[in-house]
Structure 1
Amino acid sequence: MIRMAPDPKMLKIQLGIELRRLREEAECTAAEAAAVVGGTAPKISKIESGKQGVTAVEVEKLSALYDAPAKPRKYLIGLASQLPRRSPRRTTYRDAVPDWFQRFHALEYAATDMRIYEVEIVTGLLQTEAYARSTIEAWEPAADPRLVERQVQTRLQRQDVLTRRRNPLNLQVVLSEAALRRVQGDHELMREQLEHLIEATEKSNIEVRILPFDVPNRIAVASAATLIHLAEQQLSAVYLEDVLGATYLDSPEDFTRYSVVFERLRSAALPHQESREFIAKVAEAFS
């Protein structure tokens, strides 16, 4: 059964990530946080790792301690109020627009490893500012320019996970050749994007492999998928996105199945260095 509601497990993990980020920004200790909710430092640790739920009242008290701005404070209190009091029956949940993005952003921030397969587009973590703006404007042509700009800056800020000093994200990407050749914006924009892609792959924590059209007998996977792992939260999940929202598959069976598929795609794709050379040739075609 599929429920059009957020997954309680993902809610707890998101709340934990967001509350920890607020605590660290406020330079508060776990002991200070525990004092305002009448608990202990281990309780805060469990909340922040997503292993224990937190009530709306507790979130309100913690947000006040951390001097969180009104908007994120209200948002987090709302998330906490959605947590069920009892453990629900196992089912499949879907995050509806617009909440899906904020939840994924939090998980991405805390992730240690991500594996991404993209068919039509260069993945957001490796986009240039111009490419990001073009994709957003193409999707929402009537959007207010201020909204577009906020979305562009948010997408660029997400890329900090790749260069942060402490535990940078390990990223593996398999891109269909279609993502390189489908023109977004104009030829100059595409050339800059592909050159940026080559530059990004110089980092030791980033691997990009291209799956060319002419690879014989490869498996056909028509939609994008992201496999995400958060070590501290002990979470491994598959993130699937469509125009109506997003779904997380976190059962061991589902994650294993997608892992097998991803590795088959990665094996069929060009090795890392050959992929860099392939991207460079396509970039030259946009000159």
Structure 2
Amino acid sequence: MKLLRYGPAGAEKPGIVDKDGTIRDLSGIVADIAGEALSDETLARLRALDLETLPPVDADSRIGACVGRVGKFICIGLNFADHAAESGMHLPAEPVVFFKATSAIIGPDDTVEIPRGSVKTDWEVELGVVIGKEAKYISEDEALAHVAGYCVINDLSERDFQLHRSGQWVKGKSADTFGPIGPWLVTRDEIPDPQDLPMYLEVNGHRYQDGSTRTMHFSVTAVISHLSQFMSLQPGDVISTGTPPGVGLGQNPQVYLKPGDKMELGIEGLGVQRQNVIQG
């Protein structure tokens, strides 16, 4: 299934995409694509629906982030060997974990703002993993049973804030609009192998990132298991699993986002995001 949330920011309603690509309203079935709605039991109930009986949604409706009430927005750094190399950093022995403020979350096609004082705002296409069942001290073999589904994330970053302003990376990762998520939450049954998904990102029509989850240093199952040793993962938590090479930081000369730029990014089977860039 392809689940989503549509409507004005802060007042999104739950929806589902039918076989013809029409968005159908789910608000009479679940309150939101969040919390208990991400459980295997509720997803099975949604899967059994006759979607043609659900009200269609206006095709021009804004699409919001595909999961609501995100508790933790967890990111994995330097998880692709080529990206670590272009960043001038060594591959880590364990996953590099940092957090992104949930206030950064926006819809997949919402406008991205360059924060005040920014000189190095960058892009990163990443595979997002949405937790559907509590995970605590789990093994890699158990990991995927705790996943509700997958989505596209643009892990926007301000590199000067991230690398040169002291402290943790969170300073460069958490500006408002730095977390576009969606368009869809694609349930795990539709993605048999999360380690075989082509992914790309373009700026103004130029393809900078053209990679695949095949080259992850730590797999999705390894990341989930690792995180669960340090914190419980709850339904609605989002994990952004790292980016392939081709970020602005790695270009020679370096290239960063500026007002007027347009981004397009996508992952096979998970949809496409398109964002205009403005000065915040």
TM over 0.5: no
- Which structure is higher in helix share? 1
TM-score, normalised relative to structure 1:
0.25
TM-score after normalising by structure 2:
0.25
Higher relative contact order (CA 8 A, sep 6+): 2
**Which structure's residues are more often strand, by fraction?**
2
Indicate the structure (1 or 2) with the bigger Cα radius of gyration: 1
